[in-house]
Structures are given as C-alpha cells and as structure tokens.
C-alpha cells in the first residue's frame, strides 16, 4: 500500500475489497475471507447452532440495488474483446486460434477469475490488518509468536499480492497491448467493486443464417442480402434508440423478440442490457479510478466525494462465490444458509456504520495504525483507502445477503 503521495501505477489494487469473487487461489489458501465462514461446513453448523433469526426481525434489503455507477470502456469483456497483437502471435505468446470469438471469451474469463481472486485475497488481508485480527480465523493473536507471524504477513502479503496482480496484467499486456490491458484492468476492478461495465458502442452480433436465407435483410439481383458490419451497426443503433425510449412492456418485448429471431437470444439480452445502461452511463460522472480504489477519492486522483451509502450497488453473487461445500442434506443446507445470512447481515450493518462514520468524521475515524504506519502519516490517503475498502465491503456484503436471502426462497442458484 502506498505510503506517500506518489500516484500508484494506474489501477494497481492498492486497497481493493469485498466479495463476489471466485474461490481463493491454492497459493493463497492461508488467506481466508475475513467476512466468510470456514469451509468445514458440518462442524461449523454443529458449533454455531442452527437457530435462524425470526423472519419478521430481519432487516430490509439495502436500497442500493441499482446505481448510476457505470464504467464505460472500449470493450465490455463480455461480448466484445480486443484482438491479440500480431507480434504476440508471431512470438508464440498467444496462439492464433485464441483470436476466435469463443476462445477470446474463455481466455478473458480465466484471466479475470485469477485477477479477481487476487483482489479478494488482498482485500481480506487489508481488512484484517485494519482490525488487528488473523485473516484466517478472524481473531486477534494471543501469543507473541502469533503476533510476529501476523505482523510479517501484514508486512509482506499485500506487496506480494499486488505484485502478482501486476505480473498478471503485464502478461495480458504482452498479448493484447497497453490500451487493452488498461481497459481490462479497469473492468476487473469495476467488477470487484460491484460496478457495471459497458462498451462504448452497442454490442454487434452476426445475423442468424436462417434469417439471411429467408431474405429478412432484403434481396439484390435475386440474391439474399447478408448484411455487412456497417449495416448491422445501423440496424442495432436504430433499435437501441427505440429501446432507450421504451419502458418495460409488450412493445419493448416485441422489439427484442424480433431482434432475437434474427440475431439470437444472447444478442437480444446483451442489447437490452446495453440500452438500459446507456442512459445511466450518459448521466454518470466519468472517473479514472473506480469507487473501490483509494485514488477515486484522493485529491491527486479523481478527488470525488464518497458515494452515498444508499447508492452503493449490490454486487451479483451466487452460492459458488462463498467458497464452501454446501451440504446435500436439505435441512443442514438450510441451517447453514440461515446461520450465514444472520452473520452476513450483522457484518453488513457494521460495514455500513463504519462507512458512514468515515464520511461523517473524516480522518478522525481512522486508527493510529492506518494514519501513521500503513500510510506513513498521509491522512488523506489513509482516509481514501478506508472509504474505498468499505465501499467494496458493502457492495459485496449486500450481494451475499441478497443471494442467501434468495436461497432461502429457492430463487438463487449456486
């Protein structure tokens, strides 16, 4: 973590945070989520008890389910991806087959998963350091030997994880170039902070062959027209303008249904998503650093005000993101979900209180460690780091609460 006012390498995960990320990497198995229960599910249920909180006492779901926070990039890394560098293919850094659309998707998914794990591991260590607890157990050290081990971990592990993240991005840059690497880095950090990522332009898909053969796009000299990319772009742009102006309802569904017939169901879903995000993106303040990054708030970065507590987005989370082996027995599974939900709600309430305290009290809300040791006396950067950390904690916590709550209603899949 930076200890002075020098700007970090762009998008280096200085102080990332919580949540809807894949299981911890084998190399970081000793660094468990401080906000999640241990993986020994059967023993955990037995030790903690199974009594769930009464349904009527459960607090309401946070109101930040939607947010105008949108990261706009040249590619969304969902439907659009940069092409690998010719030099990288010639040098054997990447195979030419990886330039195929489906292979590009798989390659980016694997790379993003690894990067998100690193950010999650780093978040767990940084949060544990702030609280003075072991990130694996959630408890403070009891002996001098434990304290020495924990001090060494807090001193070395963040730098190691940051370095591994940078190496991962450097490998990507060698294959796809600096512009693509910068965008991919921003996309990963935005996902980690629960922020939507969208491409600058609407997603384009090739038409269904059956629609072309049926003459949907017209005929010339007796031959059916296979639209060019420019023509597809015109069709998509016209439909997008119509969708943006339409609320949910029969007319919108009819337009998307027709588009799905000619371009496929996935193309229709992605276009619907893009059209819904576009107005929010137009209204949202542009930012170089996402709200889960300290430099979003730091005066030498974006210098932005913290996002209001109620506007922090809910990150999409599924049961597989919890990194536990779920019991097959329905009763034991439900008992674990209820126990975890109660604990997640408690943790979320603490995170929300801490976030608001940072906003209300500023640097006075910081610990001496954060101010004098972790950030070398730079109070502004220490405060910005704490706000960024809590932002991502809350986004992830809201996602976990929502997922567990839905699981009890049998609507969340994992």
Distance CA 232, CA 244 (A): 18
pLDDT in tens, 149-181: 999 999 899 999 999 999 999 999 999 999 999
Residue located via tokens 């597809």:
232
- Coil, strand or helix at 199: strand
**Residues paired with residue 196 on neighbouring β-strands, in sequence order:** 70
- The contacts of residue 22 (CB under 8 Å, 6+ apart) are 113, 116, 117, 120, 320, 321, 323
So what's the pLDDT on residue 196?
86
| pTM score of the predicted model | 0.67
* Contact in structure between 271 and 240 (CB atoms under 8 Å): yes
pLDDT in tens, 38-56: 333 333 333 434 333 333 3
Looking at every residue in the chain, the average pLDDT score rounds to 79
Largest CA distance in the chain: 86
The two three-digit tokens of residue 104, written as one number: 């590009």
- Residue 309 pLDDT > 50: yes
Q: Give mean pLDDT, residues 387-394.
A: 91
* Contact in structure between 195 and 156 (CB atoms under 8 Å): no
Distance CA 170, CA 115 (A): 12
pLDDT in tens, 402-412: 999 998 884 44
The pLDDT-based confidence of 84 (bands split at 50, 70, 90) is very high
So what's the pLDDT on residue 296?
87
| Helix, strand counts (H, E) of the chain | 12, 4
- Residue 12 pLDDT > 80: no
- Residue 263 pLDDT > 70: yes
Identify which has the larger pLDDT, 386 or 53: 386
Angle, vertex CA 259, rays to CA 244 and CA 224, nearest 5: 135
Q: Which of 176, 159, 9 is nearest to 81 (CA)?
A: 176
pLDDT in tens, 112-148: 999 999 988 888 888 888 778 888 888 899 999 999 9
The distance from CA 241 to its chain's CA centroid, rounded to whole angstroms, is: 28
- Residue 61 pLDDT > 50: no
Neighbours of 366 (CB within 10 A): 20
Which of 69-73, 350-354, 373-377 has maximum average pLDDT? 350-354
- Residue 27 pLDDT > 50: no
Which range is least confidently modeled, 6-10, 180-184, 323-327, 407-411? 6-10
So what's the pLDDT on residue 97?
85
Phi, psi at residue 219, to the nearest 5°? -135, 150
The pLDDT-based confidence of 68 (bands split at 50, 70, 90) is low
- The contacts of residue 405 (CB under 8 Å, 6+ apart) are 58, 61, 341, 412
The two three-digit tokens of residue 168, written as one number: 């991962």
Angle of the 379-408 helix axis to the 330-361 helix axis, nearest 10: 150
Return left, alpha or beta for 177; rule: phi > 0 is left, psi -120 to 50 is alpha, else beta: left
So what's the pLDDT on residue 301?
82
So what's the pLDDT on residue 160?
94
Q: Give mean pLDDT, residues 9-33.
A: 32
- Residue 323 pLDDT > 90: no
Taking the alpha carbons at both ends of the chain, their separation in whole angstroms is 34
So what's the pLDDT on residue 374?
65
* Contact in structure between 243 and 203 (CB atoms under 8 Å): no
């Amino acid at each position: 973590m930076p200890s002075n006012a020098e700007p970090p390498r762009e998008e280096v995960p200085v102080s990332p945070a919580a949540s809807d990320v894949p299981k911890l990497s084998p190399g970081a198995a000793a660094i468990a989520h401080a906000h999640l229960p241990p993986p020994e599910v059967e023993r955990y249920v037995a030790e903690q008890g199974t009594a769930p909180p009464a349904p009527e006492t459960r607090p309401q779901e946070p109101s930040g389910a939607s947010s105008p926070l949108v990261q706009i990039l040249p590619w969304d890394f969902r439907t659009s991806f940069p092409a690998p560098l010719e030099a990288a293919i010639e040098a054997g850094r990447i195979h030419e087959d990886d330039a195929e659309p489906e292979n590009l998707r798989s390659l980016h998914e694997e790379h993003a998963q690894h990067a998100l794990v690193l950010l999650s591991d780093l978040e767990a260590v940084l949060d544990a350091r702030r609280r003075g607890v072991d990130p694996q157990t959630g408890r403070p050290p009891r002996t001098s030997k434990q304290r020495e081990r924990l001090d060494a971990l807090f001193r070395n592990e963040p730098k190691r994880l940051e370095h591994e993240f940078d190496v991962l991005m450097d490998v990507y840059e060698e294959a796809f170039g600096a512009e693509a690497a910068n965008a991919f880095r921003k996309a990963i950090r935005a996902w980690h902070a629960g922020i939507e990522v969208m491409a600058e332009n609407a997603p384009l898909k090739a038409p269904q062959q059956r629609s072309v053969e049926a003459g949907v796009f017209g005929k010339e000299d007796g031959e059916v027209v296979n639209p060019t990319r420019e023509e597809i772009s015109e069709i998509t742009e016209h439909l997008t303008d119509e969708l943006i102006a339409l609320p949910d309802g029969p007319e919108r569904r009819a337009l998307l249904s027709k588009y799905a017939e000619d371009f496929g169901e996935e193309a229709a879903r992605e276009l619907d998503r893009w059209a819904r995000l576009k107005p929010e993106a137009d209204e949202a303040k542009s930012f170089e650093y996402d709200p889960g990054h300290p430099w979003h708030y730091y005066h030498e970065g974006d210098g932005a005000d913290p996002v209001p507590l109620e506007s922090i987005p809910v990150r999409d989370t599924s049961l597989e993101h919890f990194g536990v082996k779920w019991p097959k027995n329905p009763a034991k599974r439900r008992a674990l979900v209820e126990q975890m939900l109660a604990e997640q709600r408690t943790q979320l309430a603490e995170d929300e209180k801490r976030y608001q305290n940072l906003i209300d009290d500023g640097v006075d809300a910081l610990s001496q460690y954060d101010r004098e040791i972790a950030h070398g006396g730079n109070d502004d950067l220490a405060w910005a780091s704490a706000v960024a950390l809590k932002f991502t904690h809350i986004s992830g916590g809201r996602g976990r609460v929502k997922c567990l709550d839905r699981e009890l209603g049998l609507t969340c899949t994992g």
